[in-house]
Amino acid sequence: MKIFYFTATGNSLYVAKRIGGELCSIPQMVKEGTNEFVDEAIGFVFPCYGFAPPRMVLNFIKKSKFKANYFFAIMTYGNKAASGLGYMEKIGNQAGIQFNYTNEVLMVDNYLPIFKIEEQLKKEDTKKTEEKLEQIVKDIKSRQKQFVRKGFVSNVLSKGGSKLINKLNQDAGDKQFIVRDNCNGCKVCEKVCPISNIKVDRKPEYLHKCEGCFACIHHCPQTAIHLKIERSNTRFMNRNVKLKEIIDANNQSNS
């Protein structure tokens, strides 16, 4: 079984690790230019961005060929997933993937413009993440067939939300980031960026092709990178994941 995953702060990587199999980071697949994959089972694990899968995940699916007897998609989210998985099913169908199983996992919301991380961390236990994960692991092991499908309002939200996120990234993108003077040029931001949008000489320079994942902000060891508008000074990384794993997953350079 192969699992293709995308992660900024580790939630989706943790879920992928819990399901098991051969873990393949989508940014690394894109970097290598590998785009044909065959296995008995193939899964995708990714965060919800604007009620939909991230653009990087959708582009990877559109540009690749997959062959498997069993396909699944698991979306992690922090507050409202709407029809993100329905959106994934639709894009999958267009790319020749017939999903057999989709499910979603409620976790800490890392979206800094709206959520305070300290409050999210306090709420973590109420999200029943582990119970949901145990069920998903069992379901996938026994090759269950089931789908998360929602109604009209959720479909509209997902269509509009994904357009809005893409537009925000296009118009504002990394222009909404501020680098404060306590930056020491450590290059962690460069290494966790999944799209090679940051070059650090003495300070990070953004190259304006941002995916808006906020990995650079959350993982800055100095908390030197901020959004112009953010609800929280606290940063987040899933406690079951190490920074090195995020770097290994997302680093686009060879250092």
Ligand X SMILES: Cc1cc2nc3c(=O)[nH]c(=O)nc-3n(C[C@H](O)[C@H](O)[C@H](O)COP(=O)(O)O)c2cc1C
Note the residues at the interface with ligand X (CB under 6 A): 7-12, 47-51, 76-81, 107-111, 161, 165, 212-214, 238
Residue 122 beta carbon to ligand X: minimum distance, rounded to whole angstroms? 15
What is the chain's alpha carbon radius of gyration, rounded to the nearest angstrom?
A: 17
The letter for the amino acid at 220 is: C
Range 134-143, long-range pairs (CB < 8 A, 24+ positions):
136/15, 136/19, 136/74, 136/103, 136/105, 137/18, 137/19, 137/20, 139/101, 139/103, 140/19, 140/41, 140/43, 140/72, 140/101, 143/41, 143/70, 143/100, 143/101
Q: Which is nearer to ligand X, 7 or 64 (CB)?
A: 7
Q: Which is nearer to ligand X, 38 or 178 (CB)?
A: 178
Q: Which is nearer to ligand X, 34 or 79 (CB)?
A: 79
Residue 54 beta carbon to ligand X: minimum distance, rounded to whole angstroms? 8
Residue 77 beta carbon to ligand X: minimum distance, rounded to whole angstroms? 3
208: left (phi over 0), alpha (psi -120 to 50) or beta: left
Q: Which is nearer to ligand X, 161 or 204 (CB)?
A: 161
Residue 237 beta carbon to ligand X: minimum distance, rounded to whole angstroms? 8
Residue 47 beta carbon to ligand X: minimum distance, rounded to whole angstroms? 3
Q: Which is nearer to ligand X, 79 or 93 (CB)?
A: 79
